[in-house]
Structure 1
Amino acid sequence: MGITSNSPTPQTKCVVSDHRVEVLDVLVNSAIAELSLSLFGKFQAFCPPLDLVKKCVATRWKLKGSVTSSAMANGFFLFSFINQSNMATILTDGPWTYRNSNFLSLCKWKPNLDPWSDLGVVTPMWICLPGLPLEFWNLEILKGITNSFGNFLAIDSITQYKSHLLFVRVHVNVAINTVFPTKVILSLSWTLGFNK
């Protein structure tokens, strides 16, 4: 059985055979190219309605050019940009929140992302560790702490040079479905806890 589109060009032809659908590579590659300027994201605490997400994006992101926000299955959103620069700005300038407490985890869209299975989807995120005693402001110790819930990427320059001592700021790759602890216990010859 064959199915063809109304278009006379052979590039848009799809063939169905025994429940298998074969799609020409040119169509898939075109869609991948279009989606390459998109970010895939999910809010950590709750999923706000799409109209509120669009308003939040318009007021908080302040991009030169537009961004299209689309709701997906399982509480995910797709944010499509008009250029690489805008997308990179949003990806690196976070973390982004809705109502100052609902964090938005973002990662670059990639083929075969399944919103019903967010396992394996990772996103870079800046996290803050307030109240960490100064003797733990060591790169290797910070790697150990953050590697317990993600993969360490970097610390910011303020943390590195101890320009302020209010909190440590660490960049980590985390699974998009990570639930962060409100308290981290550091085990030494004595036990010390500090709140997030």
Structure 2
Amino acid sequence: MERICKPWCFSIIIKLLGKKMSHKYLKRKLALLWKPPKEITLIDLGYDYFIVKYLKEENMIKALQNGLWFVNGFFLSIKKWHPNFVAYEVDETISAIWIRLPELPTKYYDHKILAKIGTKIGRLVKTDV
């Protein structure tokens, strides 16, 4: 099991929420978004899920941690690959969301204040003033 899982250990599972895209188009958009050092390996898992296979851990970490990602305005759900993932059995119960506060007075554009607001909504991932 370890031998067959090892090549996938730096992979991520993605799903574009609210929009279907062809494999070729999504691959091109991800390359523009993440600017990887080598061509992205993108595999269609069915049910609008894809796996992005990386050879290096730092590329996987960049995709997982460097922001909320959007493709053509649609949120890209990302999670670390795990060996028993089956697309048709997925029951998403948690999703990252981006909250905008367009009429918030500018004096409250402070990381501590925004973090306090964010933690009232749920688990805070990131603030962006």
Normalised by the length of structure 1, the TM-score is 0.55
User: Structure 1 unaligned runs (5+)?
Assistant: 1-27, 160-196
Q: CA RMSD in A?
A: 2.5
Percent sequence identity over aligned pairs = 19
Greater CA radius of gyration, 1 or 2? 1
Separation in 1, partners of 2:71, 2:52: 15
* Contact preservation (8 Å) 1:45, 1:102: yes
Q: Which of 12, 20, 35 is the equivalent residue of 1:47?
A: 20
**Shift, 1:122, TM fit:** 5.0
Match of 1:89 in 2: 62
Q: What is the distance in 2 between the residues matched to 1:52 and 1:119?
A: 26
Which secondary structure state, in structure 1, belongs to the residue aligned with residue 47 of structure 2? helix
Q: Please tell me the residue identity of whatever aligns with 1:144.
A: K
TM-score (structure 2 length as normaliser): 0.80
1:112 alignment partner, one of 56, 77, 84: 84
Structure 1 residue 102 and structure 2 residue 74: aligned?
Answer: yes
Instruction: Give the corresponding residue for 1:64.
Output: 37
The 1:130/1:70 distance shift into structure 2, 3 A limit, reads same
1:142-172 C-alpha deviation (Å, 9 max, x unpaired): 2122x2xxxx13443x54xxxxxxxxxxxxx
What is the rounded CA distance, in whole Å, between the counterparts of 2:119 and 2:35 in structure 1?
Answer: 33
Alignment of 1:29 onto 2:5: no
Secondary structure at the aligned position of 1:127 is classed as coil
User: Runs of at least 4 residues of structure 1 off by over 6 A?
Assistant: none
Given that 2:13 and 2:80 are in contact with CA atoms closer than 8 Å, whether structure 1 keeps it comes out as yes
Aligned to 1:143: 119
Aligned residues: 124
Unaligned segments of structure 2, at least 5 residues: none
Mapped partners of 1:65, 1:103: distance in 2: 24
| Distance change in 2, residues 1:66/1:122 (3 Å) | farther
